[in-house]
Structure 1
Amino acid sequence: MEKKILIPTNFTKHAWNTLVYALNLYKNIPCTFFILNVYEAPARISLSKNNNTELEAAKAESEKGLQKILQGLNFRQENEKHQFETISRNKDLDEAMQECIDTHNIDLILMVSRGENVSINASFENEISEVTEKVENCPFLVLPELMQELPESNREIVFPTTFKFAFKNKDVVALIDMTIYLNASIRVLYIDTDGRPLTTEQEQNRETLKTHFAEVDFSFHKLTQTTATMGVHLFIESRASNFLALYKRKQGFFRKLFPKRIKEDIDFNPKVPVLILKELE
């Protein structure tokens, strides 16, 4: 089945590298890649005529940049399974992304985070956190700026969960797909912060995950005597895992996984790509 992938770009080398990463990730999959650029006119006090001129100039610059990307892709002679569409919008990034999702039924959004790590913070301190919070009904794959090459084998996706709520199958389809594309395994991580056995409901939710993951390789793991954030970091580092998958429910960004007691509990900067699963309608 064809996949529809949305990739926002600001015409930097990092945005280009994100696109190239997506092409390699989906090299065996028929895909349409929607390349999105948002623009705005410079903010200044001027006559309405000048504002319109500046807006037209910004639009032209956006469209020119998107055409250069298409030229670069043609030069690379990319996979014939891949198609490309460009979108230029005079909107905020989250609004433009939501429009693309609703119009084109996007399956996944790819973005790159600035800095060595993927910076995810529920306090809206960066663009990644803001758009992943605001944009609905589509998972994200957020890449660190300094990407490391994947090993040829033993690839792992760490999936932390409290087992306190049941996952719908459609909520984890992106994780299952990613596992298949990467020829990877899912490591379901439960961090026991209070030393209590799983409740009946948690046990049932654990069994539901078994059903969802029946077609891929997976295993359950447990850590004790640590916080959720520290436990996830330690688990990834100790196993040299390659990906992290996090689930966001609509009532709050990672609220079930990272309680908002102190700021450090929700600052999350892994050095691996992060697949952000969303609660889908």
Structure 2
Amino acid sequence: MNNILLPTDFSDNSWNAITYALNFYENAACNFYLLHVNELSDIVVNDSSYDTSQETIQEVYSKPTKKKLVALLKKISEKIPHNNNHKLYTISDNNFFIESIREQVQEKKIDVIVMGTKGASGLKKYITGSNTGDVITKVKCTTLVVPENAKYNKIEEVAFPTDYSINYNLQTLLPLSKILDANSSNLRILHISNVDEKLNVSQQQNKELLADYFNNSKYSFHNLTNKKVENAIQCFIESRNIGLIAMVAKNLNYFQQILFHNKVENISYHTDIPFLVLHEI
């Protein structure tokens, strides 16, 4: 049984992430937890009686949120075919956002967090300082980031950009392996460098580790030379049928270049292709 956390702010982007998740896990037995957090910082600012009246919090924040969550469940039942493999639960929490996410991950034994993001002007603008950005950088849980234009299609190919600079913890790669198996997907391990140069001994060992780990999956290695990682990934995606980009948060160099660069000209993968962010546990 998979435990999936779906934080929602009731926006179109979060709805898109919810529908993507339900389709993504269509053939898997899952508990889905729809979570809305009334952030304490907002409550303190907006309600001067916060420290003396929990009743006010219930009336002003909790009850309306619970009604919205019930309405969201109804919308799901109307828009998405019923799936006997899926159970949906709602959670309303008055807390700081990241603390709430961490608590739910621990209490519900969450396997994957699925969150939406708006990326029309680049993920940097909408992720840096946002709830989604905080989750993928501060919560050690596999996170599937669903951009605003992403629509679910069977995952034929998964791109895995790497510079082979880190020795991957095999447990970290397990969520990716499960996705490959569930979808019979092809893994495209992509190495991008500034110049055409050979791998050093450590990089070669890390490459061989990946080959050994994914030995039972369909995988291939690819090399591109480009000064800008994001441009190389865009070219690679345009030349293939990539449905998902996977990366390890520990690999900060690649992670930041792929998600947090400033210029986004001709970069469409930010708005179209979901990202799977893997964490070492």
Does the CA contact (< 8 Å) of 2:248 and 2:255 recur in 1? no
Gaps of 5+ in 1: none
> What's the Cα RMSD here?
2.8
Task: Give the counterpart letter for 2:219 in structure 1.
Answer: F
1:123 & 1:14 partners in 2: Cα distance?
13
Q: Under a length normalisation based on structure 2, what TM-score does the superposition of the two structures give?
A: 0.85
Does the CA contact (< 8 Å) of 1:4 and 1:108 recur in 2? yes
Deviation at 1:277, TM superposition (A): 1.0
Residue 38, structure 1, aligned to residue 42, structure 2: no
Q: Which residue of 2 aligns with 1:143?
A: 146
Q: Which of 55, 74, 96 matches 2:100?
A: 96
Partner of 1:167, secondary structure, is coil
1:11 & 1:100 partners in 2: Cα distance?
19
Task: Give the counterpart letter for 1:147 in structure 2.
Answer: A
Deviation at 1:256, TM superposition (A): 2.9
Q: Which residue of 2 aligns with 1:83?
A: 87
Q: Which residue of 2 aligns with 1:23?
A: 22
Q: Which residue of 1 aligns with 2:190?
A: 189
Gaps of 5+ in 2: none
The share of aligned pairs that are identical, in percent, is 27
Partner of 1:87, secondary structure, is strand
Q: Which residue of 2 aligns with 1:247?
A: 248
Partner of 2:177, secondary structure, is helix
Deviations 1:74-109 (A, max 9, x none): 455621111122111111222111111111211111
After superposition, the Cα gap between the structure-2 partners of 1:185 and 1:105, relative to the gap in structure 1 and judged at 3 Å, is same
Deviation at 1:258, TM superposition (A): 5.4
Give the helix-richer structure, 1 or 2. 2
Q: Which residue of 2 aligns with 1:257?
A: 254
Partner of 2:254, secondary structure, is coil
Q: Under a length normalisation based on structure 1, what TM-score does the superposition of the two structures give?
A: 0.85
Partner of 2:252, secondary structure, is coil
2:225 & 2:126 partners in 1: Cα distance?
24
Bigger drift between 200-209 and 232-241 goes to: 232-241
After superposition, the Cα gap between the structure-2 partners of 1:79 and 1:185, relative to the gap in structure 1 and judged at 3 Å, is same
Q: Which of 66, 70, 88 matches 2:69?
A: 66
User: 1:150-169 maps to which residues of 2 (within 5 A)?
Assistant: 150=153, 155-169=156-170
